[in-house]
Amino acid sequence: MQDKQHRVLVGMSGGIDSSAVCIMLQEQGYEVVGVTMRTWDIPSHFSSPSQEQPDEVMEAQALAARLGIEHHVADVREEFRKVIVQYFIDEYMHGRTPNPCVMCNPLFKERILCEWADRTNCAWIATGHYCRLEDRNGYRYIITGDDPAKDQSYFLWKLPQDILKRMLFPLGGMTKTEVRAYLASKGFEAKAKGGESMEICFIDKDYRLFLKEHCPDIDEQIGPGWFVDSKGVKLGQHKGFAYYTIGQRKGLEIALGKPAYVLKINPAKNTVMLGDAQMLLSEYMLVEDVNVINREELFSCPSLSVRIRYRSRPIPCKVAELSDGRLLVKFAEEASAITPGQSAVFYDGNRVLGGAFIAFQQGVKKLATENQDKFPG
Tell me which amino acid residue 286 is.
Answer: L
Cβ–Cβ under 8 Å, residues 13 and 56: yes
Mean pLDDT to the nearest integer, 258-278: 97
State residue 284's pLDDT score: 98
Q: Residue 343 in 3-state DSSP?
A: strand
pLDDT tens-digit profile of 40-88?
Answer: 999 888 998 889 999 999 999 999 999 999 999 999 999 999 999 999 9
What's the angle, vertex CA 198, arms to CA 197 and CA 202, rounded to 5? Answer: 120
Mean pLDDT to the nearest integer, 236-262: 96
Q: Is 101 part of the annotated catalytic residue set?
A: no
Task: Give the confidence band of 2 by pLDDT, cuts at 50, 70, 90.
Answer: low
Q: Is 104 part of the annotated catalytic residue set?
A: yes
Mean pLDDT to the nearest integer, 256-279: 96
Fold match between 222-275 and 280-374? Answer: no
Pick the catalytic residue: 131, 201, 301, 317? 201
Q: How far apart are CA 341 and CA 68, in angstroms?
A: 43
Q: How far apart are CA 281 and CA 197, in angstroms?
A: 32
State residue 197's pLDDT score: 76
Residue 251 has pLDDT above 60, yes or no: yes
Q: Residue 32 in 3-state DSSP?
A: strand
pLDDT tens-digit profile of 112-160?
Answer: 999 999 999 999 999 999 999 999 999 999 999 999 999 999 999 999 9
Mean pLDDT to the nearest integer, 350-356: 98
Min mean pLDDT across 22-31, 95-104, 114-123, 200-209 is at 200-209
pLDDT tens-digit profile of 114-125?
Answer: 999 999 999 999
Q: At what angle do helices 16-27 and 176-185 cross, to 10 degrees?
A: 60
Q: Which residues neighbour 27 within 8 Å (Cβ) at sequence distance 6 or greater?
A: none
pLDDT tens-digit profile of 170-218?
Answer: 999 999 999 999 999 999 999 999 888 767 889 888 999 999 999 999 9
Q: How far apart are CA 56 and CA 17, in angstroms?
A: 13
Q: How far apart are CA 19 and CA 16, in angstroms?
A: 5
| E strand intervals along the chain | 7-11, 31-38, 70-75, 124-126, 131-136, 139-144, 167-168, 225-228, 234-238, 261-266, 271-275, 281-292, 304-307, 315-321, 327-336, 343-348, 351-358
For domain 280-374, give the fold: Elongation Factor Tu (Ef-tu); domain 3 (2.40.30)
pLDDT greater at residue 40 or residue 1: 40
For domain 222-275, give the fold: SH3 type barrels. (2.30.30)
According to DSSP, the residues that pair with 282 across neighbouring strands are 335
Task: Give the confidence band of 1 by pLDDT, cuts at 50, 70, 90.
Answer: very low
Among 3.40.720.10, 2.40.50.180, 3.40.50.620, 1.10.600.10, name the CATH number for the domain at 4-192: 3.40.50.620
Domain ranges of the chain: 4-192, 222-275, 280-374
Q: How far apart are CA 114 and CA 100, in angstroms?
A: 20
Arithmetic mean of pLDDT over the chain = 95
What's the angle, vertex CA 262, arms to CA 257 and CA 267, rounded to 5? Answer: 130
Residue 240 has pLDDT above 50, yes or no: yes
Residue 263 has pLDDT above 60, yes or no: yes
Q: How far apart are CA 275 and CA 101, in angstroms?
A: 30
Cβ–Cβ under 8 Å, residues 222 and 242: yes
The total of other beta-carbon atoms located within 10 Å of residue 73's CB is 16
Q: At what angle do helices 16-27 and 55-67 cross, to 10 degrees?
A: 20
State residue 376's pLDDT score: 78
Pick the catalytic residue: 22, 104, 131, 317? 104
Cβ–Cβ under 8 Å, residues 125 and 117: yes
Residue 291 has pLDDT above 90, yes or no: yes
Q: Residue 374 in 3-state DSSP?
A: helix
